[in-house]
Structure 1
C-alpha cells in the first residue's frame, strides 16, 4: 500500500500531526507491515522528524531507522557515508548542488553523519552499513546487531546493493522504520526493472483529438532547462506563462487563463503551463508554493475538455493536481514513460477517468527528458 502524503508542502507542526495520525492508524497493522517513509533522494524533507514521530506514535522506540537515500533514476548514490549526485561521468557531493539551497529544506553537509546531526534536534546514535558490509554477506546479523533506537546510514551504489539489504531485512525478525528514496521500494517489493512503455500503451481510452496538458510547477535550473528544450524542439505547442507575483498578489486572471488553455487544447495543440518566481520579494517558500498550487488546481478544475494526456512536473505540483484538481483517490501505475518517470491511469472517481497522468520528478533526466515524454504521447495518437 502506497500512501501519498505530500508532507514536503507542510510545515513542521502540520507534518508532525499528519504522522501522528498515520501512526495511530498503522498501530493496528504494524506487526504485519514494513513501514517505509518515502523521501527525496536529494535529502529534502522533514527528516528525521517524520520517522521519529512514527516511531514514537507506534511505541517502538527500540526500532532502528534505516536511512537509504540511494536512487538510480536520479543518479543519487551513497559511498563512504557521503551522498553524491552523478551527472555524466561526474559525481558531485549533494551539498554543493542546488538541492542544498532549497528555501524550505536547506542543508550544508553531504557527509551523512554531519547531515543527520544538522537536521536532528536531539543527539542521534548514528551507525553505518558500508558497501563492504553489504557485499561480504551476513547482512541480517549486522542489522540484528544495530543498537536500539539508532539511525543507520545505508551505503549503496547500485540496485544490487539494495537487493542484498532487502533480502536481509526479510530474513530479520526485528522491527525497523525505513527512510528511503524510490529505488529501495522497488527492491523490497521485488519489482523487476522493465523497459519504458511504448507509444501504443499510452493511448487514451477513446480517440481524442485534443492536445495534452503539461504543468510545470518547479522553477529550478533543471526544470527550466527541460522547459526551454521543450519550447525549442516541439511543434503544435502553446506556452502559457503564469506570473507568480500576480498569483501571490491576487491580480491573476483565472477565467482568461482557463479560456486560453481550453482554446489551444481543443485545436489540437499541446499546452504547457509554467510559472516564474522572478520579481517576488523574500517570502516564505512554502507559502509561495501553496499559492501557486491553488491557482494551478483552479485552472485544471476549470478546464471542461479532456486533455489527451496530462504531465505534472514537480513533487508538490504532481500531488496537488492529482488529488485536489483531478480528484484521484486511486490509480493504476502503468509503468514508466521514460526511465524514472511513472505514468498512471487515474481512477473512475476522477474528473477524467482513465486519463494517462505522468508524475514527473523535477530531479530526473537531462534537458531533453520532458520533450521525450511529450513526443512519446504524440506518437501514440
Structure 2
C-alpha cells in the first residue's frame, strides 16, 4: 500500500517520520515519491495560500501528473489518496477533495477526519473542538480568509460547498458507531462503510488514537475492494501509515546543525511569518532572550513598496537592509529573529492572498541569499515555510527526520554545497508559549 498525501501547507507531516516531502510535482519528482522506501510521501501543494481558482488549477495539475506516473509505471499496490487539511478547519475543505474526485475518482466516499489528537482538536457528535472549546468560539474561526461561524463539520462542509452537496448526502460516523465497529464482514458498521457509493461524504468522530486505529484497520481491509478518498488532519495519516511519531533526544537534532570548514557551528536563523495569536505569544517569549536579535519586517512599509512606481529599486534596497541587519547579528554571535509586524492588513480576501504570497516570496529570497551562511533554520507559519523550501532553497523535495516537539517537524534539505540544512517547520497554530524558545535551546545546546 502506498499513501499519497496532497498537503495544503508544509506542516501536515507532523505526526510521521522518515519520508519524502515533495515540493514539485513533475513526473520525475513524483516517481521519486512512489519509489521511496517509505509507504507514504507528501506533495506540498501549498493550496491554503491560494485563491479557489489557483488551488483548483494546482490540484488538477498534480492529478494529471499522478495519473501519468501511475499509468506508466503500472503500480500494482493499492494507493490511498489523502487531502491533508487544517485541524482548525481553515482552507479549501470542500474544493480540494471535490477536484480530486473529479480527476482521480469517482470515489465511493470521502471521509472528513479533522481530528488532530496531539493538538487536542477533536470531533465529537459531528462538532469540532479545540481543547474542549467549540471551534467556532476560537480565534481560528475569525480567520481573515477562511473564517466561519459553526462548529458542526457537516454544516460547515455544506456551506463551503455552496449547496453543491445535498445536505442529506453528508453522513456522520459517530463515536457510538466506532465503539461497535470491527473488521468482521457481518459487523453492522462495517457493512455500512462497505455499502458506501457515489462519493458519499462522511464526517468521522475521533477523540483518541484507539478509535483511529480501529477505523484504520477497517479501511485497510475495505480498500482492496472500495475506492475511498480522505480529507484529514495529521493524526489519521499517522494511524493509517503506522508511522507514528518517534521521540528523539536533543542531541539528535543539535547534531544536524551545519558546521563551517573549521568545524565550528554556523549561526541559526529564526523566521516568524505566522500572525495568529499563539505565534505572537511564542515570538514575544523568544525575544526575551538576550541572545536573540529582533529583526522586524514592517508589513505596511512593505505594502507601500509593492505599490510604488519604482518598486524593484525600493524592494532591493529594502532587501539589502535586512540582509545587512541579519549578518550583523551573525557577527555579534547572536541569533537573528526575522518576524513580520503584528498588524492586520485591511484588504479583501483575494488581495490578502496576493499580498501574503508576495511577502512570503520576499522572505524566501532573503533565505536564498543566506542559505550557505546558516547552520539551521526555524520557520514558523505554513505559507512562509513552503515558499522558503520551494523558492528560497529551490528544493525538489526535503526529507522528514523527526518531530522536535509534539506536532513540530524537522526536515533536512540537500544544498548544492553538499550540506544538509536542518529546517524546523513550525505550524502557526501549534505549541505552547515556550515552543520557539525550547527549539532554539536544542539547536544551541542550551539547557
| Contact 1:140–1:168 (CA under 8 A) maintained in structure 2 | yes
Structure 2, unmatched stretches of 5+, are 1-40, 183-188, 306-313
After TM superposition, list the pairs within 5 Å mapping 1:1-381 onto structure 2: 1-28=41-68, 29=70, 32-60=78-106, 62-86=107-131, 91-121=132-162, 122-124=164-166, 125-138=169-182, 139-172=189-222, 173-203=225-255, 204-206=257-259, 207-232=263-288, 234-250=289-305, 253-278=318-343, 280-283=345-348, 284-303=351-370, 305-349=372-416, 353-379=419-445
Structure 1, unmatched stretches of 5+, are none
How far apart, in 2, do the equivalents of 1:331 and 1:380 lie? 27
How far apart, in 1, do the equivalents of 2:273 and 2:249 lie? 25
Q: Give the secondary structure class of the aligned counterpart of 1:310.
A: strand
Alpha-carbon distance change, 380 to 333 in structure 1, aligned in 2, over 3 angstroms: farther
How far apart, in 1, do the equivalents of 2:446 and 2:391 lie? 28
How far apart, in 1, do the equivalents of 2:230 and 2:193 lie? 12
How far apart, in 2, do the equivalents of 1:279 and 1:140 lie? 48
How far apart, in 2, do the equivalents of 1:145 and 1:12 lie? 32
- Higher relative CO (Cα under 8 Å, sequence separation at least 6) belongs to 2
How far apart, in 2, do the equivalents of 1:123 and 1:6 lie? 25
| Contact 2:258–2:374 (CA under 8 A) maintained in structure 1 | no
TM-score normalised according to structure 2 size? 0.79
How far apart are 1:192 and its partner, in Å?
A: 3.2
Q: Give the secondary structure class of the aligned counterpart of 1:107.
A: coil
How far apart are 1:235 and its partner, in Å?
A: 3.2
Q: How many residues align?
A: 374
RMSD between superposed Cα atoms in Å: 2.0
Q: Give the secondary structure class of the aligned counterpart of 1:45.
A: coil
Q: Give the secondary structure class of the aligned counterpart of 1:328.
A: coil
